[in-house]
Structure 1
Amino acid sequence: MAVHRTKSSQRASPDVERLVADAISLAASGSHIEDQFWEERLNVRLMRLLKSQNQNVIDASLDQTFRINTLAFEVLADCAETLAESLVMEHEGQNWDVLLLALPIVAHTRYQIPSGVLPVNVIESTAAALQSSITASDTRLAIVPWLYSIDQMPHSHCQTRLLTEALATAAITSSEVKLELRDMSETIAVLADPRFIIAAVAAPSGMPLFRWQAEVPTRQERGVSLIGWQNAMQEPIAALLPGCEFELLLPEAYFTNCRLADKQVRPLSIRAAANFLESTLGVMPAGLSCVVGAFGEDQADEYRISFSLKGSAEVVYGVIWPLYDRESVANDALNDLSDDESPMKRIADALRNAGVEDVFRHAMLFDPELCDDCGAPLFPDRSGDAVHAELPDDAPTQQPLFH
């Protein structure tokens, strides 16, 4: 999905150096006409890499710009995402603008969140709701007949571009979506997770894609579109996700909505963890203690949150709070609560909202260790060790864990 940070070990190639240099030049540009020059240079280089499926160069360039120039990183990331999730396609003498959409469903449960094949009636309901609440008139749609979990989504710009091209053809020609869905990876069982319906919307070039782009009287503000979308899809999604509580987010561009859904699910993961421990161990949230630590090789890539019973050092449960490309934390501010936008402040607020009062915050950066035996992430205890999270031996085991 290309929303997580990459850890490319590739040495800087000439292609990487040119991409980085152009991104830095665009970030420093002081005029629109110069912006256009550098954007064209970047787009040509990136398009060549996307067509050749050379994701390694793109990842290495993003890594390098993230380290040396955050504004250039934003520029390069935006250009790569734009080319991966949108295109112009010619059909029968008409150019069409196409955008890949992510339709997020942020869900949590005490059981399991379904994924897999979308029933025909849900696909039909989705198309009708998009046309009535989201997309502009004269647009065409293609919907993938699959309810995606995050681990089943395209995980690179190159993969996303291939998906965009396939859906663009299906939307513009009103033909069947041709994708191989039989070999999807298994969904990891977690109690709070986003699910996605993926679609493409196409409009004649220069015409609006969304209702909020249209002119009066057909123009409709985003908030009104969201309410219409939620009302129309409430019943079909409730039938699709039995035993789940969920929130429908506004259908929007693929990468933006993937990040938004991932961020929305993080506090839900903490609430679902507290609910799970209450139902499994009979312990109210006020009877829990939490330890929070930042994990990463050179900088914080995620926070890991350990749950223990008050008065016990044993970690019984763990939740991961990932950081994404556009989030960064200085190594000397890993446990800072003074900034309302800091990850630690958001985690502390989410724990407090879930009813957990005893929270210990580490100031150190932990190595992102995994269990040698099962590959599960290790979680920090109060003494500063990274340990395995294990429920007591007498706890029910039929429900899934987060890690």
Structure 2
Amino acid sequence: MRRPFKTATQKLSADSLRLNAFAQAIAQAASRLEERYWESQLDVLLRKLLRNHHQDVIESSLDHLFKQESDAYDALMENVEAASESCIVELNGTSYDALLIAMPILAWTRFSIASGPIPADMVMTLSAHLHAHVLAPDTKLAMAPTLFSIDQLPRTHADTFALTQQMTQAALKDAPVKNSPHAAETAPFLADTRYLLAVVAAPAGEALFRWQASSNPTERDEALSQWNTQAMPNIARLLPGCGIELLLPEAYFVACREGDRLIRPASIRAAVHYLTHTLTIEPDALQAVIGSFGEEEAEGRVDEYRIGFSLSGEPDILYGVVWPLYGQEDDDELQYRVVETPTDPLLSSVVERKSPIEEIFALLEECGVVHVKRHAELFSMEFCDDCGSPLFPDMEAELVHAEMPEDAPAGTAHLH
């Protein structure tokens, strides 16, 4: 179950009540035909709300259902995402299905990870590789000329809807996509995700991806392999000084969640690598302090772990890594799978773990950090009032800033 935006409790509007009713009907449907009927009703309402930027109405419904009815919440969230990232457009008498896709790039470095505008010739080259190795033949494509950080992606479903509509028109008219003139600033991290965005369109009912066109779902793996091989040299030019791993281009929300999940192991490895090389120490000279963090009103739910690093036996936290949790990952009994990425040791992961905290312990052990303390209490989500940085627990369970020694070599100021 995915989590909603944090919103204040308020009386539900008439449209919010209708959203809830449609989502509940979908969750209770006894046949695929009934489910599709309610989905079509919900889709009409969602597109009206998204087009008019009534994000607050949608968030109120999601917040209410998240607390009351998990099945209906999942149904509403799935349909909100679908309405935001896809559309049906008619052009010259032909109906087209269009989908916003994201191409996640996992990157790590001791310096800085680039973002921002990319050259037109690079857009053309990457578009050609997409057509050749990922998309179905004869699809139409428009790629944004930007390497996005997470801070520069659409912030709401309404923003995503607007971007999808804009880029769909560009794809169907074979026109270039314009850069956003007001891109948000990007915080520097040692390991972070970058995204390329595009819209792919095809006549309604036709395949969008190569594995659909061949009716062979196993071709997804081959598409990812070819994308890594062919696109990597070009993307490496956009991210100088970085280690890189490319994930499969997929529907926007699924791809972004995969990028968020798979950057987490690289964040811990990059932290240990950076600290040991910057301070000229071995990993066993470090100690890690782990705290569970959650919203005060969430009744004990863990939203993220924060891992602070210090020198063994020393009180000061030098660096911190935030490990956010997604869906039901806060359930320690949940069995889940971490995708193995053997192309680089920074990203190769233990494949089966019972819980995120077990994966964190395994990663620290793998990195050579043998002194690890986990606090039992649940900390509130505290941030620095001055700079907004997350605070990390020290050995005494005090929440503190993570700060490198004054005589340490200058470098990246944050960790993911």
Taking structure 2 as the reference length, the TM-score comes to: 0.90
2:381 aligned with 1:368, yes or no?
yes
CA shift at 1:38, angstroms? Answer: 2.0
CA shift at 1:180, angstroms? Answer: 4.7
Does structure 2 conserve the Cα–Cα contact (< 8 Å) formed by 1:331 and 1:365?
A: no
1:382 and 1:330 map into 2 onto residues whose CA distance is 25
CA shift at 1:69, angstroms? Answer: 2.5
CA shift at 1:310, angstroms? Answer: 0.7
Which string of whole-angstrom CA distances, capped at 9 and with x for unpartnered residues, describes residues 64-115 of structure 1? 2222222222211110000000000000111111000101110101111111
2:304 aligned with 1:305, yes or no?
no
RMSD over aligned Cα atoms: 2.1
Indicate the larger mover: 18-27 or 167-176.
18-27
Distance 1:5 1:380, change over 3 A: farther
Distance 1:262 1:4, change over 3 A: farther
Indicate the larger mover: 17-26 or 278-287.
17-26
1:69 and 1:348 map into 2 onto residues whose CA distance is 34
CA shift at 1:5, angstroms? Answer: 4.2
Which string of whole-angstrom CA distances, capped at 9 and with x for unpartnered residues, describes residues 158-195 of structure 1? 00000000110000111122x45221111111110011
> What does 1:158-173 align with in structure 2 at a 5 Å threshold?
158-173=158-173
Partner of 1:336: none
Indicate the larger mover: 93-102 or 296-305.
296-305
> What does 1:322-333 align with in structure 2 at a 5 Å threshold?
322-324=324-326, 326-329=327-330
2:293 aligned with 1:295, yes or no?
yes
1:171 counterpart letter in structure 2: A
CA shift at 1:223, angstroms? Answer: 0.9
Give the aligned length: 393
Does structure 2 conserve the Cα–Cα contact (< 8 Å) formed by 1:5 and 1:301?
A: no
1:11 counterpart letter in structure 2: Q
Indicate the larger mover: 279-288 or 307-316.
279-288
CA shift at 1:286, angstroms? Answer: 1.7
> What does 1:3-152 align with in structure 2 at a 5 Å threshold?
5-14=4-13, 15-152=15-152
Does structure 1 conserve the Cα–Cα contact (< 8 Å) formed by 2:144 and 2:179?
A: no
CA shift at 1:154, angstroms? Answer: 0.5
> What does 1:178-327 align with in structure 2 at a 5 Å threshold?
179-215=178-214, 221-297=219-295, 298=298, 299-324=301-326, 326-327=327-328
Does structure 2 conserve the Cα–Cα contact (< 8 Å) formed by 1:214 and 1:220?
A: no
1:310 and 1:115 map into 2 onto residues whose CA distance is 36
Does structure 1 conserve the Cα–Cα contact (< 8 Å) formed by 2:287 and 2:369?
A: yes
1:331 and 1:230 map into 2 onto residues whose CA distance is 34
1:70 and 1:4 map into 2 onto residues whose CA distance is 10
Distance 1:331 1:249, change over 3 A: closer
Distance 1:58 1:346, change over 3 A: farther
2:392 counterpart letter in structure 1: F
Distance 1:396 1:265, change over 3 A: same
Distance 1:33 1:107, change over 3 A: same
| Structure 2 unmatched runs, 5+ | 335-351
Indicate the larger mover: 86-95 or 227-236.
227-236
CA shift at 1:31, angstroms? Answer: 1.2
| Structure 1 unmatched runs, 5+ | 334-338
Partner of 2:348: none
Which string of whole-angstrom CA distances, capped at 9 and with x for unpartnered residues, describes residues 238-279 of structure 1? 121111101011111000000000111011111111011112
CA shift at 1:220, angstroms? Answer: 7.4
CA shift at 1:392, angstroms? Answer: 1.5
CA shift at 1:21, angstroms? Answer: 3.1
Structure 1: 4+ residue segments shifted above 3 A: 330-333
Which string of whole-angstrom CA distances, capped at 9 and with x for unpartnered residues, describes residues 295-350 of structure 1? 121232221111111111211111111123x23525999xxxxx934221222222
Taking structure 1 as the reference length, the TM-score comes to: 0.92
Distance 1:60 1:135, change over 3 A: same
2:392 aligned with 1:394, yes or no?
no
1:348 and 1:142 map into 2 onto residues whose CA distance is 43
Indicate the larger mover: 279-288 or 98-107.
279-288
Does structure 1 conserve the Cα–Cα contact (< 8 Å) formed by 2:187 and 2:414?
A: no
Question: Aligned to 2:413, what secondary structure does the other structure show?
Answer: coil
Does structure 1 conserve the Cα–Cα contact (< 8 Å) formed by 2:332 and 2:355?
A: no
1:227 and 1:89 map into 2 onto residues whose CA distance is 32
CA shift at 1:368, angstroms? Answer: 0.7
Give the fraction of aligned pairs with identical amino acids, expressed as a percent.
43
2:332 and 2:187 map into 1 onto residues whose CA distance is 31
> What does 1:319-358 align with in structure 2 at a 5 Å threshold?
319-324=321-326, 326-329=327-330, 340-358=353-371
2:308 and 2:302 map into 1 onto residues whose CA distance is 17
Question: Aligned to 1:365, what secondary structure does the other structure show?
Answer: strand
CA shift at 1:355, angstroms? Answer: 2.1
1:329 counterpart letter in structure 2: D
Question: Aligned to 1:374, what secondary structure does the other structure show?
Answer: coil
